[in-house]
Structure 1
Amino acid sequence: MLNSCNYFSSDVPQPVATYWHNGYPAIGTEAENRVRAEHSGFEVLAVHRLPSQAWWDNYYSPLKENMVRYRDSDDETVQTVIKEIDEEMALFEMYSEFYGYSFYVLRAG
């Protein structure tokens, strides 16, 4: 099994494409990742998406709570990181149906 952050289709809104091109230029679609696995000699038995609610429950909400204590920091680096995280969360809130993590269940061919 492996996982990857990927697009769920090749038709993604421009803000999503721009964000991921800058942050993870190698991002592909689930279909492209399936082909990559097959070309690497694996049979793809299943693909499961991590539900967007899991991102909120287990990652973004706890992160948001922890960030509260740093929001008033005078440290420029801290403020840059907070801004980037806020942008990431806003993008995911608006466009989570277009991208996320997928888990690929593979078998060596």
Structure 2
Amino acid sequence: MEDLLYQIFSDIPRQGPGSRFSTLQAARLITDVPEEPVILDLGCGTGAQTLVVASHFGGKVYAVDNFKPYLQILELNAIKFGLNETIVCRPGDMFNLDFPENYFDIIWAEGSVYILGFANGLKSLKPHLKTGGYVAATEISWLREDIPDDLAAFWEIEYPDMKTLASNLKTVAASGYQLVDYFALPPTAWWDEFYTPLEKRLVKLRQQFDDDDEALELIELTQLEIDLYRKYPDYYSYIFYILRKN
């Protein structure tokens, strides 16, 4: 089932909501870094954001993911865009990062910190970050309190630790980081490079796995996620948090 999950998301531009514009918006909020910074892109997937980060900052970008086929796609794209000297792809487990302490000027994490849990993720990344270094991370967050029952039921299963924006801002304050800025990803960042191509891919996968009930269940669960965002786009979003280690 895990292989199918990776297969669902392999042949689309991104493995989660995001856009070149949003990545650049976050990158431009990061100032006062070395001319050639050392950057970690955590849970990079196929690396749409990695390419933007590497192009914007230069330096050395370590792209880490636990699924090697994603990294192979990124390696090919790094060569295509002339960034193969900047981007270093490395298979790895975010629960056990094989990097020294005080090593990175920037840690980038679009849609990946939730795997660690937002509070725990911020805490566990901090030792690897230089003093004055930055974390740029997206975290799915409730934007309203009056959450419809069907939406709440879905995310209670998929991500029970999902918090409100206000709660996550308190977590940031308690984590010892300076909050530089934050912004919500717009609906276009959900649809253009993620849900629209994903929904088209699900049509093909239904045909491919039409006799596999377990696979079809996962496909329809993914479709439900898309349908719920289509129905309730004002109730939740990914928030891009730009933080600095004091």
Q: Same fold (TM over 0.5)?
A: yes
Taking the aligned partners of 1:25 and 1:64, their CA distance within structure 2 comes to 24
Between stretches 68-77 and 31-40, larger displacement belongs to: 68-77
**1:89 corresponding residue in structure 2:** 226
Unpaired segments of 5 or more residues in structure 2? 1-135
Unpaired segments of 5 or more residues in structure 1? none
Query: Could you say what secondary structure the match of 2:162 adopts?
Result: coil
Q: How does 1:1-109 map to 2 (within 5 A)?
A: 1-72=136-207, 73-109=210-246
Q: What amino acid sits opposite 1:99 in the alignment?
A: Y
Normalized per residue, the structure richer in helix is 1
Taking the aligned partners of 1:11 and 1:33, their CA distance within structure 2 comes to 17
Taking the aligned partners of 2:167 and 2:173, their CA distance within structure 1 comes to 10
Q: What amino acid sits opposite 2:159 in the alignment?
A: Y
Query: Could you say what secondary structure the match of 1:25 adopts?
Result: coil
Taking the aligned partners of 2:179 and 2:145, their CA distance within structure 1 comes to 19
Deviation (angstroms), 1:11: 2.6
Quick one: percent identity of the two aligned structures? 31
The alignment yields a C-alpha RMSD, in angstroms, of 1.3
Taking the aligned partners of 1:9 and 1:38, their CA distance within structure 2 comes to 20
Taking the aligned partners of 2:142 and 2:231, their CA distance within structure 1 comes to 14
Count of paired positions: 109
Which protein has the larger Cα radius of gyration, Structure 1 or Structure 2? 2
Q: What amino acid sits opposite 1:82 in the alignment?
A: I
Taking the aligned partners of 1:10 and 1:41, their CA distance within structure 2 comes to 26
Deviation (angstroms), 1:9: 2.6
Q: Which has the higher contact order (CA 8 A, sep 6+)?
A: 1
Taking the aligned partners of 1:90 and 1:68, their CA distance within structure 2 comes to 14
What are the superposed Cα offsets for residues 45-98 of structure 1, whole Å, 9 maximum, x if unpaired? Answer: 211111112111111111111122222321112211121011111100000110
